[in-house]
Amino acid sequence: MGRYDLALIGFGGVNRALAELISQSGERLAKELGFALRVVAITDLRAGSLVDTDGIDLAPLLAAEPGELSFADLAGGSADPRNEWVIREVPADIVVEATFTNPTDGEPALSHVRWALESGKHVCTTNKGPVALAGRALKQLAAERGVSFEFEGSVLSGTPILRTAERMFGGLEITGVQGIMNGTSNYILGRLEEGIELSAAIAEAQKLGYAEADPTADIEGHDVQLKVMILANEVLGADLRREDVFCEGISAITPHEVQDAASKGLRWKLVGSATRYEDGSIDARVAPLALPAQHPLAGISGPVNAVVFHTDLLGTVTVSGPGAGRIETAYALLSDIIAIHQRHADDDTAPTRPVLQETHRV
């Protein structure tokens, strides 16, 4: 049976959940999927870096409280994340990028992805920054190096919206997308409706693992802005920059407004949309809307998200499922790894790496 060696960049909620999945269910998954997974490197801003090309023993790391983890005193460990060295030099097959999303310039995640692709390694990421701001260039780089760049978790977490559109909508013309694409703000709007204060609702979303490290991105709509860019670029063939997407968040909406709307049968939702017009122009925006109960997005509650695709032959098609959550997003990474396997398992031109044991090949 083949095996993929992984380098995890960022060891917060999502990559820890992936490590847990590998540690607890690795054998079952290997039987089902036909390949094993092993973690050979982890880097984290706070914990440092840890490398073991024979495979890191994940159980003791997962037993430690996230805030207390330090790799400095472990064999193969350092207090320094050494991201570039780890990404370029450690013989991993797949680099799994799950550091903070930076909506302004995508860094440093953008560099992490670029270094990995330049080194001939596959990349999967849940980080929206590199995908939204440089997706086209990164896909080009991946194609040149004969590797994959996968990012299913960048929109709707583990709900396979990008792959559904790519693989299942052949022959359809998609003219627009409209959706609830942020679990945190949707969860918060629901809690405001129940009478919870904004600050308390944000704290809950953080504890549940839905919110960004800086929840401003969730509240002010920047997270959805990136997701609209990704969807429009992937599904509508657009090439949007951030300034092309109008953005207004939910920070100005009061609990009273949410409750008042609910009493009139309306639900406030943070809606992202992109519409392609006949002249080829695209209108893309993020804004809170008070939706009537019969709208397909009005009943989407909590961290659940949904996207309505407008198509020529089917009318509207709605995909709905988890939009945030550590385990749900780790599943997106697993689905990316499966996609890499499906695409490359038969490659006889696997990229060469500096230190490559035969067992690293799949």
Ligand X SMILES: NC(=O)C1=CN([C@@H]2O[C@H](COP(=O)(O)OP(=O)(O)OC[C@H]3O[C@@H](n4cnc5c(N)ncnc54)[C@H](O)[C@@H]3O)[C@@H](O)[C@H]2O)C=CC1
Ligand Y SMILES: N[C@@H](CC=O)C(=O)O
| Burial class for 172, CB neighbours closer than 10 Å (0-12, 13-18, 19+) | middle
Residue 290 has which token pair?
Answer: 């008070």
The one catalytic residue in 207, 227, 264, 269 is 227
R_g over Cα of the chain: 21
182 binds, among ligand X, ligand Y, none (CB under 5 to 8 A by kind): ligand Y
What residues numbered 133-192 form the site for ligand Y, per CB under 6 A? 157, 182-184
Those residues whose C-beta lies under 8 Å from the C-beta of residue 356, and which sit 6 or more positions away, are 91
In single-letter form, the type of residue at position 293 comes to A
The residue with its CB nearest to ligand Y is: 184
- The reply on whether position 210 binds ligand Y by CB under 6 A is yes
| Burial class for 355, CB neighbours closer than 10 Å (0-12, 13-18, 19+) | exposed
Q: Which of 94, 323, 334, 340 binds ligand Y (CB under 6 A)?
A: 323
- The reply on whether position 230 binds ligand X by CB under 6 A is no
Indicate the residue among 8 and 362 with the shorter CB distance to ligand Y. Answer: 8
- The reply on whether position 46 binds ligand X by CB under 6 A is yes
What residues numbered 173-202 form the site for ligand X, per CB under 6 A? none
| Distance separating alpha carbons of residues 167 and 178, to the nearest angstrom | 19
Indicate the residue among 125 and 344 with the shorter CB distance to ligand X. Answer: 125
8 Å CB contact between 4 and 36: yes
148 binds, among ligand Y, ligand X, none (CB under 5 to 8 A by kind): none
Instruction: State the nearest-atom distance from the C-beta of 218 to ligand Y, in Å.
Output: 5
CA angle 112/333/23 to nearest 5° reads 105
Instruction: State the nearest-atom distance from the C-beta of 181 to ligand X, in Å.
Output: 10
8 Å CB contact between 272 and 179: yes
Beta bridge partners of 245: 284
Helix (H, G, I), strand (E, B) or coil at 15: helix
8 Å CB contact between 303 and 296: no
- The reply on whether position 11 binds ligand X by CB under 6 A is yes
Binding track over 106-145 against ligand X, x by CB under 6 A: --x-----------------xxx-----------------
Residue 234 has which token pair?
Answer: 């992937």
Indicate the residue among 12 and 249 with the shorter CB distance to ligand X. Answer: 12
Indicate the residue among 153 and 221 with the shorter CB distance to ligand X. Answer: 153
Indicate the residue among 163 and 361 with the shorter CB distance to ligand X. Answer: 163
Q: Count residues contacting ligand X (CB under 6 A)?
A: 30
Q: Count residues contacting ligand Y (CB under 6 A)?
A: 11
- How far does CA 111 lie from the centroid of its chain? 17
The residue with its CB nearest to ligand X is: 12
Binding track over 283-322 against ligand Y, x by CB under 6 A: ----------------------------------------
322 binds, among ligand X, ligand Y, none (CB under 5 to 8 A by kind): none
* Piece of 8-16, 163-171, 227-235, 353-361 that binds ligand X (CB under 6 A): 8-16
Residue 199 has which token pair?
Answer: 């600050």
Rounded (10°) angle between helices 161-168 and 222-235: 10
Active site residue 121: no
| Distance separating alpha carbons of residues 230 and 153, to the nearest angstrom | 11
Residue that is written with structure tokens 């350092």 in the block: 78
Task: Give the E-state strand segments of the chain in sequence order.
Answer: 2-9, 35-44, 48-51, 77-78, 94-97, 122-125, 149-150, 174-180, 245-247, 266-276, 282-292, 304-311, 315-322
Residues annotated within the binding site are 104, 128, 212
| Binding residues for ligand X (CB under 6 A) | 9-14, 43-46, 81, 83, 98-101, 108, 126-128, 153, 157, 209-210, 212-213, 324-326, 329
| Binding residues for ligand Y (CB under 6 A) | 157, 182-184, 210-212, 218, 223, 323-324
Residues annotated within the binding site for L-homoserine are 212
Which positions are catalytic?
A: 227
Residues annotated within the binding site for NADPH are 104, 128
